A and B are shown apart, each in its own frame.
Chain A
């Protein structure tokens, strides 16, 4: 399928209609741009506000271009209101937890999805439905019993405590299973006939062909953990083990905080996510990626 045919097929759809209504194209671009502005403006606000003293932020009208770079905001953000520099440590904690969870989720979800998609065993559908049902359990419902499990294992204030309850996600299992259902079984059978072991098949044939789903799942898991507020709030009291959302919400509630420092914290806390996202975006974006992966 060459780009040209794709282009002609895609465009023949809507553009044909548009040739009759020329202003429609302008309207569509206009709508797209409005949506773009809506999505991006709060981020621009966050960045510019982080460079201003708080009094400028709440004055009307908002001056989009800061007078100068108010470094104090960033200094305060990193130092913390008590001057203890826990912020870098908290970023590190969040990174460790999020990366580990992303890794284990991808691994376990693909194992499970593969087992559910490509193997037949009794109770398979039952297991799948039970796992799906866990997606519907609201976290608030299981918060306290989960806390009791975690403290029973004595993993409070530890990385294990932050990671363990999120080792694998039902959504990840769902994604992998759906994707692998359409994976051609002939390759697997051929490999088996060639004498390859099941583990080998999994690691050498299945996994490499799942890159877009794996990347997507990895990013989403990372993001989910990076954002997790309630669980770390319960399980971690030790300042040095806290994660970024805890730091941000504590910072926000402290009486000495002002809006400028708050935005500086927000910017700093978002940078790792942005880096990850932009680095892996090509796997994540819909359309082209799917086509390319179907080459096999």
Chain B
């Protein structure tokens, strides 16, 4: 009797494990195509770049490059140009992603609570339209607006009743940084508003009801219920916004290329990498900078995930 039970138990285990194994194999099958793709088009190139960063490789040179070990890294950590790029990237990222986060949450809350169904959609579409333009087009338009005779000066002078003042949007170093942040903000605000509204819509209204019954004020409801429950969305938005800002390239590239703007104030790290690698032909040094950027992004993303995990909210 016990033999039978043992036998059936063993059989149950094996069939169960068999189903599991089959499932696992299907899972792998679904995942393998893109993994292969990433290996070829992402991992191989980045590993190649890591390898290159250890050499003094010049783009045009056919000779074997000199092995520098960590030489490139030591050079860039001592170079003023690299630290300027770090500063420019940091300033740009903080100056863009914090306002983006704050204002998109703010506008999303406004739109979600105040607007009727029709105007909700209208506002979201209107705010998103800048993102529909390609970066080259957006840069071309903003360069015309920010040029001394352009709309930027005209509108600001009209609002402040100061005719003829040139705000030096592209000429003054600080204003230039502000201008790039402005363009980025303009481009991405709509997208993040939409993300937040999606997040807001996933909070069941029953929670608000329960809170009201328990005597919570609306202001308290917002901070104690809405914000914590929006955490996953906030995390998603802030990680994405931060990564986008760190990777920013086309706005700065097009401003300096076709806009005649000075490069040093907005020489973000990606622009520096491009210039060092392609213009100045030092692909070894450029690869080192890229690896540093990559590591920074990994660390910051990881940190953000860690921070948010510690206060997960369940309901």
Contacts and interface: CB of A to CB of B under 8 A. Distances in A.
The answer to whether any beta carbons of A and B sit under 8 Å apart in the complex is: yes
A229 B127 CA distance: 24
B98 interface: no
A236 to B, nearest CB: 15
B141 A5 contact: no
A291 interface: yes
B200 interface: yes
B201 interface: yes
A108 B34 contact: yes
Contact of A121 (B24, B133, B190): B24
B215 interface: no
A14 B113 contact: yes
A281 B125 contact: yes
B154 interface: yes
A138 B20 CA distance: 38
Contacts of B150: 58, 62
23 contacts: A3-B117, A10-B113, A14-B113, A16-B218, A17-B217, A43-B133, A62-B151, A111-B30, A112-B30, A116-B31, A118-B27, A119-B23, A120-B27, A136-B294, A141-B46, A170-B38, A173-B34, A223-B131, A226-B134, A262-B140, A273-B132, A273-B133, A285-B197
Interface of B: 20, 23-31, 33-35, 37-38, 40-46, 48-49, 52, 59, 107-115, 117, 120-121, 123-138, 140-142, 144-145, 147, 149-151, 154, 186, 189-190, 193-202, 205, 208-209, 212, 217-219, 221-222, 243, 247, 249-250, 254, 257-258, 270, 273-274, 277, 283, 286-287, 290-291, 293-294, 297-298, 301
Given A121-B27, A286-B193, A288-B121, 9 more contacts: A32-B110, A40-B126, A42-B142, A118-B27, A141-B45, A167-B41, A245-B134, A282-B121, A287-B200
Interface of A: 1, 3, 5-6, 9-17, 25, 28-29, 31-32, 35-36, 38-43, 45-46, 49, 57-62, 108-109, 111-112, 114-116, 118-122, 124, 127, 130-146, 149, 164-165, 167-168, 170, 173, 198, 202, 223, 226-227, 229-230, 244-245, 248-249, 252-253, 259, 262-263, 266, 269-270, 273-274, 277-278, 281-282, 284-291
